[in-house]
Chain A
Amino acid sequence: MTLLARRVTTAVALMLVVAACGDDDATTTTVTTTTPATTTTIADTTTSEPEAEGVTIIGDDGVTSVIADASRIVSLSGDLTEILFALGEGDRVVAIDVTTTFPEEATALPVIGFGQQLAPEPVLAFAPTVVLANDLTGPVEAIELLRDSGIPVVVLNTGGSFDAVGHKIRTVAEIVGVPEAGDALAADVDAEIQAALDLAAQADSEPRVAFIYSRGPQLLLLFGIGIGTNAMIEGAGAIDVGAEAGIFGAAPLSAEALVAAAPDVVVLPESGLAALGGIDALLEVVPGLADTPAGASGAFLAYDEAYFFNLGPRVGQALMEFVLDLHPELAG
């Protein structure tokens, strides 16, 4: 390498350094407008005593967080975002991740990425005072990095049973300081759930239902115990074929097992069904499905993913809709 070339590369290196450090605006314009200067008052979550207005929450991951200020929330879980908006506290949300799909005003907020592949800095860019996450948010190291940076992260499991809804609503309400509104919302949702459960009890059939999760032909999973779909199916007075087969969580869909399970109805997420290319495509991709009772009678149901199994504030409505779809004879 000639002397000239070496000088040029060294100069380039210096320019790189100067350019990078000298001009912050060029790289952070999307963020600077929302960054306030009030960053020095973040409570240290691990050692200090709670502030006068600090709320102490023990998350579902067992970690205790003290939230002194809930004015700027980053929500990494769609159900928790929905709860905040349902409580009328949606203004506090400064950023979301891709799992938030409702309500519409929420979807207009800046997106930091996908909570299940979390990077701490994009979250910090919004200067949050508290971060809400679910059990799938990760990796765990990223959550630790946020906590080490002084931001409390409250983890609330999405849950697999209806009890989870009330728990999440009340906890979120406590965080933002509106416990009465939380109790009221939880009571409303519980009532809606109960109404649906009562209606389902009047049904005279117990259909066998399979929930198939998909994001396209490469990914087909059968859901079972521990996921919200199980609560929905059993709450609607149906038999969860996945749970019956002993599946915990999700398992790759085995066409043979599905045929052996003989579901009467197959439920899928709307986006997943679209990714597959519709019912006909589904029937092609899963051999033998066409011969199951569900396939033979064309009994396929599709719902918005978040609506159906996130166990958020709309779960009561979703359950009622589902009950009526399974048992049309119960309508009016």
Chain B
Amino acid sequence: MRTIDDPFGARRRRVVAVLSVLLTGAAVANLCVGPVSVAPSEVLRVLARAIGLTIGDEPDSRARAVVLTIRMPRILVGVVAGAAAGITGAALQGLFRNPVADPHLLGIGPGASLGGALGSLTGAIEGAIAGGAVGGILAALIVRKLGAARAAEPSRFVLTGLALGAAITAWVGFVVFVADRTRVPPIDFWLLGNLGASTWGTLGTLTLTSGIGVVALLGSARTLDLLSLGEADARRLGLDVDMATLVILLGVGAVIGAAVGAVGVVVFIGLVIPHLVRRLAGAAHRGVLLGSAIGGALMMLLADLGARVVASPQEVPVGLLTAAVGGPFFLWLIRKPEVPQP
């Protein structure tokens, strides 16, 4: 039903629904595909037994191991990490009114890598995830300081973020090479991402750490809509712009930080998905934030599918695929001005 301030409401709901269906499809594909061949009927039998139903014969223990211990947590971690990338990209683009704002371009991703690398010195993934969140938050606060210059020159803002990111990444390299190599993942993990070590424990910690942040970001939809009027008018309409910026940046830092701690930096999701969602569903943040979360999860799962299949049995870092596909796709997306006709 069309309400006066939301003529795209129906379209938005459809987009979210379609993305959800596609996401489910991708999850199923990832469950069924991999270097270990497990027939779809066997996947079904394993899943059924896992929830207490007995369908058909007892599945083979290797199939059980692969489906429940390896693929399921990996898919779910991918969903959370992908959603984190998507929603933080959307939030930053709305906050800074800048179409190329993305946590990895603005130095927040690299900050999370540094935090994650230091956190992984504890030897536990929980440390890496917590460290990533802390690193992400600190980097976000630095970005906030940089952001003071943004109103004047959006391109300069991004350049400054990139420089900050590059500097921080160099430090990540330093930590990686100097620290105990049995604890800190190598540099390609931080730069290109990898879902290979995802366990149920990883999933639990990741969801706990980024969960509140995601809820906070989803709740900032109205604030982001208001900020599209520009900071001055947003202020005149009663928004505490400084506080809102702080809260959103903290949320972004924690959410993407935890994801980076768990799976490394996976680029382009936060850049590509929000643009796509805005094009399809309109720019109202209620839809863009949720749609970017689902779309980000979808992109991550599809990229991971490719990562596991393209050089089978070896696995390629998932960030290579998101960059390989996301890069050209992004260039195509920004050819035309973003404003679609309803």
Are B65's CB and A150's CB within 8 A?
Answer: yes
Q: How far is the CB of B312 from chain A (nearest CB, A)?
A: 6
The residue from A13, A31, A141, A144 contacting B36, defined by CB atoms under 8 A apart: A31
Residue of B nearest to A140 (CB): B123
CB-contact partner of A21 in B21, B29, B186, under 8 A: B29
Given A9-B22, A17-B25: A122 and B33 within 8 A (CB)?
no
Contact: A138 with B313, CB < 8 Å? no
Instruction: Mark the stretch among A229-237, A248-256, A292-300, A322-330 that contacts chain B.
Output: A248-256
Find chain A residues with CB under 8 A from B309 CB.
Answer: 27
Once the chains bind, are B36 and A117 in contact (CB under 8 Å)? no
Quick check: A125 and B313 within 8 Å, CB to CB?
A: yes
Q: Is the Cβ of A6 less than 8 Å from the Cβ of B18?
A: yes
- Are the CB atoms of A119 and B197 closer together than 8 Å? yes
B15 within 8 A of A: yes
Check if A198 is an interface residue, CB within 8 A of chain B. no
Bound Cα distance A171, B42 (Å): 37
Q: Mark A269-281, 1 if CB is under 8 A from B, else 0.
A: 0000000000000
A119 adjacent to B21 (CB under 8 Å):
no
Find chain A residues with CB under 8 A from B280 CB: 1
Q: Are B66 and A149 in contact (CB under 8 A)?
A: yes
Do A149 and B26 have beta carbons less than 8 Å apart?
no
Chain B residues with CB under 8 A of A122: 35, 312-315
**Which of A64-72, A77-85, A108-116 touches B?**
A108-116
Chain B residues with CB under 8 A of A6: 14, 18
Q: Which stretch from A34-42, A51-59, A159-167, A175-183 is at the chain B interface?
A: A34-42
* Contact across chains for B181 and A136 when beta carbons are under 8 A apart: yes
Closest residue to B11 on the A side, CB-wise?
A1
Q: Decide yes or no: A121 and B197 within 8 Å by CB, A24-B33, A27-B33, A148-B65 being known contacts.
A: no
A-contact 0/1 string along B79-119, CB 8 Å cutoff: 00000000000000000000000000000000000000000
* CB pair A30 B40 closer than 8 Å: no
Q: A1-B18, A28-B37 are in contact. Are A136 and B62 (CB under 8 A)?
A: no
> A307 near B: Cβ within 8 Å?
no
Contact A40 B61 (CB under 8 A): yes
Whether B177 lies near A219 (C-beta < 8 A) is: yes
Contact with A along B255-297 (1 / 0, CB 8 A): 0000000000000000000000000100000000000000000
Q: How big is the A interface, by class?
A: 35 or more
Q: Are B71 and A121 in contact (CB under 8 A)?
A: yes
Q: What is the bound-complex CA distance between A35 and B314, given in angstroms? A: 16
**Complex: how many Å from CA A127 to CA B61?**
12
Interface-located stretch among B47-55, B188-196, B227-235, B319-327: B188-196
Interface string of B165-201 (1 = CB under 8 A from A): 0000000001001101111011011000010111101
B70 lies within 8 A of A13 (CB): no
Question: On chain B, which size bracket covers the interface?
Answer: 35 or more
Confirm or deny: B28 has a beta carbon within 8 angstroms of a beta carbon on chain A.
yes
Within 8 A of B (CB), among A106-159: 110-113, 116-122, 124-127, 135-136, 138-142, 144-145, 148-150
- A250 with B177: in contact, given A140-B123, A141-B202, A148-B69 (CB under 8 Å)? yes
Question: A22 on the interface (CB 8 Å rule)?
Answer: yes
- B178 with A250: CB separation less than 8 A: yes
Any A CB within 8 A of the CB of B9: no
CB of B32 closer than 8 Å to a CB of A? yes
A31 to B61, Cβ gap below 8 A? Answer: no
Q: A243-261: contact bitstring with B at CB < 8 Å (1 yes, 0 no)?
A: 0000001111000000000
**Chain A positions within 8 Å of B38 at CB level:** 24
Between-chain CB contacts (< 8 Å), 19 pairs:
A1-B14, A10-B21, A13-B22, A20-B30, A20-B33, A25-B37, A30-B35, A31-B35, A32-B37, A39-B62, A40-B61, A121-B34, A122-B314, A124-B70, A125-B313, A138-B182, A142-B197, A149-B70, A150-B61
Q: State the 10 A-B residue pairs at the shortest beta-carbon distance, nearest first.
A: A119-B196, A149-B65, A20-B29, A125-B35, A21-B40, A141-B197, A122-B313, A21-B32, A13-B25, A39-B62
12 extra A-B contacts, CB within 8 A, seeds A24-B33, A141-B125: A6-B14, A9-B18, A20-B32, A28-B34, A28-B35, A28-B37, A40-B61, A121-B35, A136-B182, A139-B197, A144-B199, A221-B177
